[in-house]
Amino acid sequence: MSTTLKADAAFERGLPSNVYAERMVLGSILLNPNAFVTAAATLSPEDFALEKHRIIFRRMLDLHNREERIDRVTLANELLRHGELEAVDGLSYLASLDEGLPEIYHLESYVNIVRDKSLLRRMIFAAQQTIERCMLGEDDPVQILSAAEESFLSLGEAQTKNTLASAREVFESAEGGINTFLDPSRRVRGVSTGFLRFDEMTGGFRPGELIILAARPAMGKTALALNIALHVATRREGRRGVAIFSLEMSKESLMTRLICSRARVDQHRFRTGHLGREDRARLSEAAEALYEAPLFIDDSSATSLLDINAKIRKLKHTLDVPLGLVVVDYLQLMPAPSLGRNANRVQEVGALSRGLKLLSKDLEVPFLVLSQLSRAPEQRMGDHRPQLSDLRESGSIEQDADMVAFIFRPEVYHKDREDLRGKAELIIAKQRNGPTGIVPLVFLHQYTRFENPAEELAEPAE
């Protein structure tokens, strides 16, 4: 089979590309598999101009994710497994990539060429879309301008890579300079959760943190997460945007719970329609507050890491307030990244927790991720309080999380004890930058709502 370069439509149209640089990158990886890390730190499959190069790099990525060696044989087998070997012009083309190629000591130069050409093509595509919308004239000019700004901003963000920074650069880049690190009163505090004792112990949720909230079923994970989301999005001062990704409940069900929780109306009475005048008035007030709140719900049942990444980036550009919190309900329902046929569920959940941590850091937003626990607390004699070892399906959750908190309601295990009714604990089992301990809470069954104990309220709740 001929190994002559077959051009894609983009290549034929004369768009910016450097096929020789692309071949050098792919060939260098086949020659030295360790070079893949250098290339993958900057490039994605979509950065290659030729479709067959995109396919080859994508399969290299699959091999790397499974920690398998990348060479002609393994790559050909991977392409064959996906029915793509012919699409890349067969074994002869793979052999031509590194045949006679000397070891390249400055691979970064070729990687940068491929990246730069890719950026130019993306800019052209974005500009063409804007021109087409302007020519059609079907949309409002302000909307077209806003979309164009968003497109080019996203291109700029995609090219921004975190680099090593000196101590001087860290000090100078911080708001307030070096005094921010010397004066505790000037340190940036995290997003308040509305639970006073919890905020005292944690300082709130900070950008880039992965917070795991775990419990056994029916303990109130979703209820507590919604309480926090409601507080963040509807505060009288300093409110922030909240994005909720619910893989279990519909957006209508979540909105019902939010309205009833804020209005303090019994959900059963709400669903059956047995409401008094005061109930209706409180519901109306709660609905009005939520109507104006920067709170967004996605109830797609197959939301992936890539989906969350794309949707949050788009949301951040459209919000007129800072995005303060992302809630994912819940971890074990998310589709796992492809790790190969031999991967088990523990590895898949581990990949998800690591991916969510990287997303929170990259997007600079705290992620509150709900998680299931194993049956161990129920089987444990005596004290049924959860432990870190009870995290279901993955020990890496504990490793990736900046904070792990458990919900514990003793009344669930002692239904005959009236003195335990409504008592709840939020157990901080791990905190990377603070103390661990127990935060007492009150659970209001009729509202499916958690609140601060009355003795801890220093001021009226917002």
pLDDT in tens, 4-41: 344 455 555 678 999 999 999 999 999 888 888 888 87
* Amino acid type, 351: A
pLDDT at 310: 78
Least confident segment among 104-108, 255-259, 311-315: 104-108
Instruction: Count Cβ atoms below 10 Å from residue 68 Cβ, excluding itself.
Output: 15
pLDDT at 245: 93
Mean local confidence (pLDDT), 291-315:
84
318-330 pLDDT, tens digit each: 888 889 999 998 7
pLDDT-derived band of residue 351, with 50, 70 and 90 as boundaries? confident
Q: 182 Cβ partners below 8 Å, 6+ apart?
A: none
Task: Indicate if the pLDDT at residue 142 is higher than 80.
Answer: no
pLDDT at 181: 65
pLDDT at 153: 60
pLDDT at 185: 53
pLDDT at 461: 44
pLDDT at 212: 92
Q: Which domains does the chain have, with CATH numbers?
A: 1-160 (1.10.860.10), 188-456 (3.40.50.300)
Contact 366, 324 (CB under 8 A): yes
Least confident segment among 188-197, 256-265, 340-349: 340-349
393-419 pLDDT, tens digit each: 666 787 888 999 999 988 888 887 887
Contact 360, 325 (CB under 8 A): no
Hey, what are 389's tokens?
């070892």
Quick one: what percent of the chain has pLDDT higher than 70? 84
Tell me the C-alpha distance between 35 and 26, whole Å. Answer: 9
Report the catalytic residues.
Answer: 248
Closest CA to 55 of 77, 84, 29: 84
Task: Indicate if the pLDDT at residue 89 is higher than 70.
Answer: yes
Task: Indicate if the pLDDT at residue 243 is higher than 60.
Answer: yes
Mean local confidence (pLDDT), 223-236:
90
Run of H or E including 406: strand 403-408
Task: Indicate if the pLDDT at residue 368 is higher than 70.
Answer: yes
Task: Indicate if the pLDDT at residue 248 is higher than 80.
Answer: yes
pLDDT at 4: 38
155-210 pLDDT, tens digit each: 765 555 555 676 776 667 666 667 666 665 555 568 888 888 898 888 889 988 99
pLDDT at 163: 58
Run of H or E including 200: helix 196-202
Closest CA to 227 of 200, 253, 262: 262
Instruction: Decide: pTM greater than 0.75.
Output: no
Q: How, if at all, do strands 210-215 and 367-372 pair?
A: parallel
Q: How many residues does the chain have?
A: 462
Mean local confidence (pLDDT), 45-70:
90
pLDDT at 342: 63
What integer best gives the mean pLDDT of the chain?
A: 82
pLDDT-derived band of residue 453, with 50, 70 and 90 as boundaries? confident
Q: Which residues pair with 242 in a beta bridge?
A: 295, 325
pLDDT at 393: 62
Hey, what are 132's tokens?
């087409």
Q: 413 Cβ partners below 8 Å, 6+ apart?
A: 378, 384
pLDDT-derived band of residue 217, with 50, 70 and 90 as boundaries? confident
